[in-house]
Structure 1
Amino acid sequence: MPQLIAPTTRVHTSFLAAMAEFQAEGRGGAEDGSAVGREIRDYAADWHDPAVFAEYTAWLRSFVDEEVVGPMAYVPCTNLWFVEGDTYLGRLGLRHRLNDFLHEYGGHIGYDVRPTARRRGHATTMLRAALPMARARGLDSVLVTCDTTNTASRKVIEACGGIFEDRRGEKLRYWIDTQRQPAHEHS
């Protein structure tokens, strides 16, 4: 069963395949401001090297530390990967607080599912699993945003209890109460 875990070298081969899928759909270009896009630009040429990949996963795990992310003008963030066995399915970032940019556009939680793993409920499962983690961090509600054109993500957010607040530019903004969660669907 898929689960959220800390970034790990165990999924190296699958991670590389997932990043190639993201690149094939156009992610990683200069206009891609997402975490996946930035990291493709910064690391894709070297991820194949196991030592570089180990440093990369350690770097992602270190984002919980204010001293690490502060100089980059980021907020502390718990980075998690959604994996099944040794298969990388996606990623989720749980930001511990909002800065001005995140309040307007990015939100507390961001997630991506690799293209070949989409339309299987993984994004909903990831977001639902992150809500108790947010609550444990003292966040009574979290802001989750999506592009106005991303119908799938909008449905994920709404399925997880997202209440629409407004549209700002090309972003739809939703708040999710971390204390009252919809019942999980049973398979």
Structure 2
Amino acid sequence: MPELIDPTVRLRPSFLAAVAEFHADREQGVPWFVTNVDPPALTDADAFAAYVARVLGERTEDGAVRNGFVPMTTLWWVEGEEMLGRLAIRHRLTPALERVGGHIGYDVRPGARRRGHATAMLAAALPVARGLGITRALLTCDEANTASRRVIEANGGEFLDTDGDKRRYWVPTA
């Protein structure tokens, strides 16, 4: 049964395979987190370990939070040794995140899509967000992304409004 776990070097082969799938996917664009991977981490085991440490360090204000970012908890959705997706919970919102991005962003690797992983992954993340003090999470999706809209609504998302081409939802975390 899949579960959310902390990023780990143990899953490097599966992570790299997922990154390759995202790059090869012609159906959707390459997600932000893929373009955010430190390039050396894609070829060097030590650099990958440093990347994982950076991602884990982004959880606190005094951690490795990069300029312009807020603290966020990144989790991987895995089954056994296979990384199926990733999810990031942003601990607070900036004005930009209120418009695009919200509290939680998620991606399922192309080879694992259409199996309910995004819905289950978001459901598993909501108690984590609650533990971070987020009583209701703002989630956004593209107006045309009906799959993501269904995921959000299946998790109790209440439509807030549309901002440009983004739909915004409040999702209870309790």
With normalisation by structure 1, the TM-score equals 0.87
- How far apart are 1:97 and its partner, in Å? 0.7
Distance in 2 between residues matched to 1:149 and 1:52, nearest whole Å: 37
Distance in 2 between residues matched to 1:63 and 1:84, nearest whole Å: 24
2:10 is matched by which residue type in structure 1? R
Cα 1:74–1:118 shift into 2, 3 Å: same
Partner secondary structure for residue 73 of structure 2: strand
Partner residue, 2:6: 6
Distance in 2 between residues matched to 1:94 and 1:161, nearest whole Å: 17
1:53 is matched by which residue type in structure 2? F
1:10 is matched by which residue type in structure 2? R
Partner secondary structure for residue 158 of structure 1: helix
Identity of aligned residues (%): 53
Distance in 2 between residues matched to 1:68 and 1:147, nearest whole Å: 31
Partner secondary structure for residue 83 of structure 1: strand
Deviation per CA, 1:47-98: give whole Å up to 9, x if none: 1211111111111111112123555211110000011111010000011110
Distance in 2 between residues matched to 1:69 and 1:149, nearest whole Å: 34
The 5-angstrom pairing of residues 37-56 of structure 1 reads: 37-39=35-37, 42-43=38-39, 46-56=41-51
Distance in 2 between residues matched to 1:116 and 1:143, nearest whole Å: 27
The CA RMSD over aligned residues, in Å, is 1.5
Which stretch shows the higher mean deviation, 70-79 or 103-112?
A: 70-79
The answer as to whether partners of 1:69 and 1:75 remain within 8 angstroms in 2 is no
The 5-angstrom pairing of residues 112-123 of structure 1 reads: 112-123=107-118
| Structure 1 unaligned residues grouped into runs of 5+ | 180-187
Aligned equivalent of 1:59, options 49, 54, 63: 54
The answer as to whether partners of 2:159 and 2:167 remain within 8 angstroms in 1 is yes
Partner secondary structure for residue 128 of structure 1: helix
Partner secondary structure for residue 167 of structure 2: strand
Distance in 2 between residues matched to 1:127 and 1:55, nearest whole Å: 27
Partner residue, 2:34: 36
Distance in 2 between residues matched to 1:131 and 1:113, nearest whole Å: 17
| Structure 2 unaligned residues grouped into runs of 5+ | none
Partner secondary structure for residue 106 of structure 1: coil
The answer as to whether partners of 1:64 and 1:76 remain within 8 angstroms in 2 is yes
Partner secondary structure for residue 13 of structure 1: helix
Q: How many residue pairs were aligned?
A: 172
Partner secondary structure for residue 148 of structure 2: helix
With normalisation by structure 2, the TM-score equals 0.93
Distance in 2 between residues matched to 1:171 and 1:67, nearest whole Å: 31
Distance in 2 between residues matched to 1:46 and 1:173, nearest whole Å: 34
